[in-house]
Amino acid sequence: MEDQVTDKLELAAQFVNSTNSPIFLTGKAGTGKTTFLRSLGNLTYKKYVVVAPTGIAALHAKGVTIHSQFLLPLGSFLPTQEPDGNFGTGANFYTQQTLSRRHPLNAARRSVLKSIDLLIIDEVSMLRADVLDAIDFRLKTIKRNFDEPFGGVQLLMIGDLFQLPPIVKDHEWRVLGKFYRSMHFFEAHGLRNSGMVYLELDKIFRQQDNTFIQILNNLRENKVTENDIKILNSYFKSHEEIKSIEDAITITTHNYKAEEINRKALNELPGKLYQYEAEIANDFSENLFPLPKILELKVGAQIMFVKNDTSGFSEFFNGKMAKVKELSSNEIIVTFEGREDGYKLRKESWENKKYVIHEDTKELEEEVIGTFEQFPIKLAWAVTVHKSQGLTFEKAIIDVGQAFAPGQVYVALSRLRSMDGLILRTRISPATINNDQSVVNFSKSTEALPPLEKILEDRQSNFVQKLAIQTFDFKDILDSIQSFEKNADSSLEFEDEEMRKAMSNLKSLISEELDYLGKFQNQLNRLIYNQEIALLQERLEKAEQYYEHKLENILFKLLIHHAEVDRLSKTQTYRDKLDEVQLSILKKIVQIKKVAKIILSVIEGSPIGKLEKIDLEVSSLRSKLAKEAEKLAKENPKFLKNKTGKRKKGSPNVKLEKGETYEITYLMSDQGASIEEIALQRGLAESTIKGHLAKGIQKGRVLLSSHMKSELIEEISSIIKRFDADLVKIRQEMPGIYDYGTLKMVAAHLGLIKEKKAD
């Protein structure tokens, strides 16, 4: 039989890929939660982002902070539509109303969140219920789906509730307590009736000592016995005894204590103090620093690695202890178990990133916006309980006599592999073991749940039915067009009728399909219910071909309109809203191309995989159509006007590359527009248009006869020849008769103007 943890991790992957249920993936310290998070990118076809409550947690998870991704204001969120002023002024509260009106998301973040199917939240034990409800409200608003928790986005929440809890101040709780039973994430309104799946990993990799494992379990569950305390306190050492212990790190409760121990130990070492400054590039704020900006060391300093080895040789890991052997101005050599001869450190890089939708491919991507480079070590005579989370030590001095937060004793002790490495600086008192009773109660409530396999089967059945309906439902595209019509810059008035009707025509094309889509959904549901797999596959494949073609046509029309508008300045808001519609269409094409594979795999119980090939196909299709659209827009330029037909001051104008402005004038000339008409439609002076035309005549691109009668050409030609093509002198000698632009056009026609090498 396979190892149980492998089964649980496989179940977790199945819940992600073949259901839409929120998942709480938990487990004791050292059970593989982080490993699962790291491997998820290779397991799921769903588009996701990773977020965490704090900057350091986000760096560790290789994600971003919740507040930066969702642009949440500082303060407490209240899950109500009431104005925030109703709740007093003693604390910074905001509600659904104020979140929408005063703190709207920008276009970039809206696009990212609109594109995702899955939101991964790491270190969820620190996440407050009100923040999770703010996320719920944001996603419902962005997805325009208030019927499902989190707007239909699946949640994967990873963490251990028995570790450090969320922080709430007394004055905040006086108001928040009216909405929540506690501040733990599982009390969020968004999770009520959501069918959250509780999946606990129970195979412990860190500890193998059964006695120690049992004591840790009792600590978690508030079941500590007298004998447990007696066993733990047998590891107490006096101050004098501890002084003789080497290579052990002290885990303590407060920052000032850890800093005091590290500073005192460093100062007591003989020798020169060396300083190494981190190299910080671009956007990397101080609250994200994984290490002090200035690293201070002496030979003999006890240090700890704060990052896994990225060289591929696995020489060290996050939490591994070492000692400084040699130092120079730019070199650090350390010794540790297995490398007593010395190991030369190299700097490691930490990346601050954000999620973006790639401008060309419209794919969800990570963009590095800043880096922090430093030697991956820090002084390690002491560390706080909080900063020890996720680390593993062979030997540690535990100082939790002043534990102030629930779970601190458990977190500190669970850093050790076994009790062989346990040294207590202060004896453990039952009074300091104060795990949050609401967490214990929540954990106990999960014991009555049905077996995970049964839950998975039920959720998969619901997921397949729902997926069939949602995939062949174009309501989300229709909603995005209607939102566009409501919110796009209404001051844009297109001269071209086809441009004016572009979006309403797209809406009509979508609406035409709705009636038949409803009937098709019923067919699919019947085939799924009756398990008619062969017929189901046939219908899905035919539907894919039919609707892929339909949506490609709709996408192409949208891209043409986008390319036309893209050539106009001062239309950013309009274009951002067009992008949202485009993302809805692209997402629907991807869904339709994936749905057969997903549904059939779930029914047959086979792996789904990443389905990357489909994403690449759709991205390639979009790029191809966009190029064709840009070409058409360039060949047939469109313009804007206001209701009087005259250009308003500061109104949008054509955005042109070098030389392109001339080509537009030439094209309009080809279409029979007069100089006056071209100038009016382009919002340019007639003299400028004449300058364009003179260049076109000079190149043989424009015919002078298109804009001037032959008699006038002959008359001006004779004057130009008489003055030896000195146009300035003609203007001086014959003021007010011919403007400079007209003279230049005729001179170009006569070949009397030399072409410049560059425009």
Mean pLDDT of 43-70: 90
Residue 260 pLDDT > 60: yes
Report whether pLDDT(128) > 90: yes
pLDDT digits (tens, 9 = 90+) for 493-510: 666 677 778 888 888 888
Mean residue pLDDT across the chain: 85
Residue 482 is classified by DSSP as H
Length of the chain, in residues: 759
DSSP 421: G
**751-755, Cβ contacts within 8 angstroms, sequence gap of 24 or more:** 751/698, 752/720, 752/725, 753/694, 753/698, 753/725, 755/698, 755/699
pLDDT score of 485: 82
Which tens digit of pLDDT belongs to each residue from 78-126?
998 887 766 765 558 888 988 888 888 888 899 999 999 999 999 998 8
Contact 480, 584 (CB under 8 A): yes
Q: How confident is residue 680, by pLDDT bands cut at 50, 70 and 90?
A: confident
pLDDT, residue 103, reads: 87
CA atoms within 13 A on the CB side of 124: 29
Residue 65 β-bridge partners: 52
How confident is the model at residue 4, as a pLDDT? 42
- Token digits of residue 536: 């189901």
Tell whether the model's pLDDT for residue 5 goes beyond 50. Answer: no
757 vs 366, which has greater pLDDT?
A: 366
Tell me the per-residue pLDDT of 213-239, one tens digit each, with 9 for 90 and over: 888 888 877 788 889 889 988 999 888
Query: What confidence tier does 652 reach under pLDDT thresholds 50, 70, 90?
Result: low
Report the pLDDT value the prediction gives residue 757, as an integer from 0 to 100. Answer: 43
State residue 728's pLDDT score. Answer: 83
Nearest to 358 by CA among 610, 62, 51, 111: 111
Distance between CA 66 and CA 63 in Å, rounded?
A: 9
pLDDT on residue 724: 87
Both tokens of 192, joined, read 């009520």
Read off the amino acid at residue 61: A
pLDDT at 692: 92
The pLDDT of 259-283, averaged and rounded, is 92
What pLDDT sits at residue 288?
A: 85
Q: What pLDDT digit, counting tens, does each position of 688-714 carry?
A: 899 999 999 998 889 998 899 988 999
The confidence score (pLDDT) of residue 492 equals 65
Q: What does the alpha-carbon distance between residue 49 and residue 23 come to, in Å, rounded to a whole number? A: 15
What pLDDT, on a 0 to 100 scale, did the predictor assign at position 54? 87
Instruction: Kindly tell me if the per-residue pLDDT of 637 is higher than 70.
Output: no
Q: What is the mean predicted confidence (pLDDT) over 719-731?
A: 87
pLDDT of residue 208: 61
| pLDDT confidence of residue 617 | 92
CB atoms under 10 Å from CB of 210, counted, come to 8
Residue 434 confidence (pLDDT) above 60 = yes
- pLDDT, residue 649, reads 43
Give the per-residue pLDDT at 488: 67
Per-residue pLDDT at 319: 81
Model confidence at 645, pLDDT cuts 50, 70, 90, reads very low
Q: Which of 193-197, 357-361, 723-727 has the lowest mean pLDDT?
A: 357-361
pLDDT of 755 over the 50 cut:
yes
CA 659, 662, 668 angle in degrees (round to 5)? 145
Report which secondary-structure segment, H or E, holds 582.
helix 572-604
Tell which residue, 290, 262, 274, 298, has the closest CA to residue 374.
Answer: 290
CB atoms within 10 A of CB 37: 19
pLDDT the model gives residue 642: 44
What is the Cα gyration radius of the chain?
Answer: 34
> Within 10 Å of residue 21's Cβ, how many Cβ atoms?
22
Please determine, for residue 756, whether its predicted confidence score (pLDDT) is greater than 70. Answer: no
Q: Answer yes or no: CATH 3.40.1500.10 is held by domain 4-204.
A: no
Tens digits of residue pLDDT in 456-497: 999 999 999 899 889 998 888 998 888 888 876 655 666 667
Spatial distance between the Cα atoms of 554 and 589, rounded to a whole number of angstroms: 11
Percent of the chain with pLDDT over 70: 91
For the cut 80, the answer to whether the pLDDT of residue 655 exceeds it is no
Taking 50 as the threshold, does the pLDDT of residue 268 lie above it?
yes
Residue 391: predicted pLDDT: 78
Residue 681 has pLDDT above 50, yes or no: yes
| pLDDT at 668 exceeding the cut of 50 | yes
Higher pLDDT, 487 or 737: 737
Higher pLDDT, 333 or 431: 333
